[in-house]
Amino acid sequence: MFITRAFRRMKRSINMYFGFSAKEINGITILFVIIILTIFAPIVLQHYLVNNVTHTQDEAILQNWIKSIEEEKPSNLSLERVSVDLKTIQEFDPNDATLETFVGNGIPFKLANRIINYRSKGGKFRNKEDLKKIYGFSEKLYSKLSAKIFIKESFKDNKSVNNIKPNESINHSNNKPNYVKTFVYDINQLDTLQLEKFKGIGYKLASRIVKYRKALGGFVSIKQIQEVYGLNEETRIDLESKLTIDNNFIPKKINLNTSSYEELRNHPYIKGKLAAVILNYKKQHGLYKSIEDLKNIKILTEDDYLKLLPYLALE
């Protein structure tokens, strides 16, 4: 009753002051009520929900989610490098060692995973030096582990007739022990059709290898084959065992004093930013007097300089 009287008095006051009709006053009243509800309803609802809703179910879901994440974490195996005492390194055969054994012996997790993947695709280690063919397996790491690596007889090279590949031959003369001769090919001489004959290489990959070789100016190291995009570990190792580089091969050179920006930037080891800096250095200091002048360029690392060195010239 009190609210009804209050609204009536308010309507009479509005009518007297503004001269609105009854319909207009009713519309204003409804609008006023809606505004009041819009302002205070969220506050009331929030207060009600906060004080009456329990979070038990949400908390249970959150805890289960956290638990699942913890279970998926590869614990200490995910460390990129593991510091291991030489005395604690165990003997192992890379052909059947577990991931835990690799990491426990100080092999980085990613590298250990790479070895496992290589094996899963049928790769074998016939001797312990084959480990160095795995991308990222450094000479330093190999030297540290070499004494503890052994290859079981079942995995070693078998020179029987059954294991001879189509591109190998046997010498039976003079009753001498059989030996296997493997043919090797010059990577700088092979065209796409010849490359396609290798296991694991199709037209696209063969074309990519030839294109990269041309951009480089020729391969100066078999290891450069791993820089070709799309080459998997098994195919790379197979190629490295069958390819060679002529000792007299001279790669196409880049003249530091005469090459244009486009010529420099098109080389895989230079690209745009370094090409601009090389030209800018020449502009500021005059012609390059020695290839070693490049060492004054701060953005050129020592490793990149050594990779680039065989392709550089001043004349």
CB 184 within 8 A of CB 247: no
Q: How far apart are CA 116 and CA 128, in angstroms?
A: 15
pLDDT at 312 (0 to 100): 94
CB 264 within 8 A of CB 279: yes
Burial label, 118 (beta-carbon count in 10 A; 0-12, 13-18, 19+): buried
Looking at domain 80-155, its CATH superfamily turns out to be: Photosystem II 12 kDa extrinsic protein (1.10.150.320)
pLDDT at 9 (0 to 100): 72
Q: Summarize pLDDT for 30-83 with one digit per residue, the tens.
A: 887 888 888 877 776 666 555 554 555 556 665 665 565 555 444 444 444 445
Low-confidence ranges of the chain (pLDDT < 70): 1-8, 10-22, 25, 44-87, 156-183
CATH number of 185-244: 1.10.150
> Strand, coil or helix: what is 233?
helix
**What burial letters (b/e) apply to 232-257, b meaning 16+ CB within 10 Å?**
ebbbbbbbeebbebeeeeebeebebe
Q: How far apart are CA 174 and CA 182, in angstroms?
A: 21
Task: Tell me if 80-155 shares its fold with 185-244.
Answer: yes
Q: Summarize pLDDT for 112-142 with one digit per residue, the tens.
A: 888 888 887 777 788 888 888 788 888 888 8
Q: How far apart are CA 267 and CA 274, in angstroms?
A: 11
The enclosing H or E element of 312 equals strand 312-313
Distances in Å between the Cα of 105 and the Cα atoms of 102, 262, 315 are 5, 48, 50
Who contacts 206 (Cβ-Cβ below 8 Å, separation ≥6)? Answer: 192, 193, 195, 196
In this prediction the pTM is 0.46
How is the chain split into domains, by residue range? 2-50, 80-155, 185-244, 254-313
Residue with tokens 């195996």: 77
pLDDT at 250 (0 to 100): 93
